[in-house]
Structure 1
């Protein structure tokens, strides 16, 4: 069994545990929260034996083999580093850290302490994303990648009434790019690597984070356009446009309905069965298998991929003036 501790007691941790329980050899043993009452309540609900209010005590406890981090973005780097320094494998929610310098430091720390570090971006592990990779060569030379994720945040209602919740707090390295723009960028970088040029524009809110943004990325033979928002909504699909056909993706974070559309309007469905109720299953299964096989890096969500996406996000947000407190510490 791989014994997990979880850091964070929010809805995403609930989803992680539900998916993890479907993975062979997954075991939840510990819960961390800053407040003991919250940790005990969450641990009791999910039948975890141990609770902690101190990350270092959790890391030293020998009660966990691995940790899943789902705390606010600005805390990821510090918490992950403490855990890895004590030999704990880390699966950290996206974004892995606040900036490129922190990502590089985490990768180096993982290597120094011989532990597995993986960014918890679920979409690249989904079976239907793997189908996109398999069929990419069938649409001819790729000329354009267009990904959008415009998803109105319920927390924006509170923001409009004068209450700034975590999602719109720059102190926590939040905002549209880090929270949802990354879903557009991860498949792009996984399929096509680093761009030659990046141009970005965004809408900064009074709180200091971006509410929405658009990034244009130039490659050798293609262009990519990604746009995303936490202050508007859209139901438009995303596309990978080749000279012979276009891959249509219903939702860039879910990959539930994926098809190839040819110039004569004929279509081929390439999406197949996947657990859309527990999408995190596939990344957790990979993480557990890597630990059990003694590997220290995923061949899908590689360290290089995490670093490439971090570099794109940092370059983009600097262009439209979004600087986090964490950036000033570097």
Structure 2
């Protein structure tokens, strides 16, 4: 069994625990929260025997093998480095860090202490995305990648009424690009590597984060377009456009229903059935790495995470978005 401790008691952590429960080698052992009341409530809901109100106590516990981090983005680096320094494997929610320097620091800590460290991007480990990778050659030379994820945030209602919640607070390294844009950028990096250059534009809200925006990424023989928003919806699918056809991805954050529309009018469905919750596949990958004695994923690799962090930081600079963590 891989005994997990969690940092963060939000809905993402709940989804992770529910997905992990489908794996025989997953055990929720401990829960951290700043208050004993919340830690006890959350642990009781999911049957975790241990609660912590001290991060040091969590990472020093002999009953914890791995730590799942789902705290605000600006806390990731400190918590991940602390856990890895105590020999804990770390699965850290996306985006990995506030900026490239923090991401590099986390990766260096993982290498120094010989632990598994992986960014928890669920989409690139789901069957639908693996099918895209396997069948990408069928559309010929790729000329354009389009990653679109625009989803109106319920927290924006509060923002419009004058209350700035965490999702729109630069203190926590948040905003549309970090929260949703990463869903378009990370798969692009996994499939095509680092772009030659990027150009970014966006709408900067008064709170200091971006509400929506777009990123153009230039490659040697193709271009990529990333669209993201937390202040409006879009129902536009994502696409990979090749000279022989187009791979259509209805939902880039949870790839399913994927198919190829060929130039001759024929269609080939690539969809792989998701037998488990979306987060199951990233947890399975993470546990498998620990069990095999490997240190990083071939897909959600340190390199992919570092390149993604570079792109996110460059895009923010061009939009004029600066976090306290950058200073």
CA shift for structure 1 position 268: 0.8
1:308 and 1:292 map into 2 onto residues whose CA distance is 27
Q: Deviations over 1:229-276 (max 9, x none)?
A: 00000111110000010000001111111000012322111112113x
- In the TM superposition, 1:314-325 aligns within 5 A as 314-325=313-324
Alignment partners' CA distance in 2, 1:288 and 1:209:
35
Residue in 1 aligned with 2:300? 301
Residue matched to 2:80 = 80
Structure-1 residue corresponding to 2:212: 212
Shift of 1:97: 0.9
| Structure 2 partner of 1:182 | 182
SS in 1 for 2:27: strand
Q: Distance in 2 between matches of 1:263 and 1:296?
A: 42
Name the counterpart of 2:192: 192
Counterpart CA distance in 2 for 1:298 and 1:140 is 27
Q: Distance in 1 between matches of 2:269 and 2:21?
A: 31
- The residue matched to 2:303 in structure 1 has which SS? helix
Name the SS for the 2:296 alignment partner: coil
| Matching of residues 148-163 of structure 1 within 5 Å | 148-163=148-163
1:245-260 mapped onto 2 (5 Å cutoff): 245-260=245-260
Distance 1:283 1:150 in 2: 23
Which deviates more, 290-299 or 79-88?
Answer: 290-299
Distance 2:319 2:310 in 1: 15
Which residue matches 1:46? Answer: 46
Query: Does 1:282 pair with 2:281?
Result: yes
Q: Secondary structure at the match of 1:148?
A: strand
Q: CA offsets, 1:39-87, max 9 Å, x none?
A: 0000011100110011111101112000100000100100001100000
1:93-242 alignment, distance < 5 Å: 93-242=93-242
| Structure-1 residue corresponding to 2:290 | 291
Q: How large is the RMSD of aligned CA atoms in angstroms?
A: 0.7
Aligned length: 327
> 5+ residue gaps in structure 1?
none
Q: How far apart, in 2, do the equivalents of 1:292 and 1:51 lie?
A: 25
Distance in 1 separating the partners of 2:66 and 2:34: 19
Deviations 1:210-238 (A, max 9, x none): 00011000000001001110000011111
1:64 aligns with 2:64: yes
TM superposition score normalised by structure 2: 0.99
What is the alpha-carbon distance in structure 2 between the residues aligned to residue 99 and residue 274 of structure 1?
33
What is the alpha-carbon distance in structure 2 between the residues aligned to residue 70 and residue 51 of structure 1?
16
Q: Give unmatched runs, 5+ long, in structure 2.
A: none
Shift of 1:147: 1.1
Match of 1:227, SS? Answer: strand
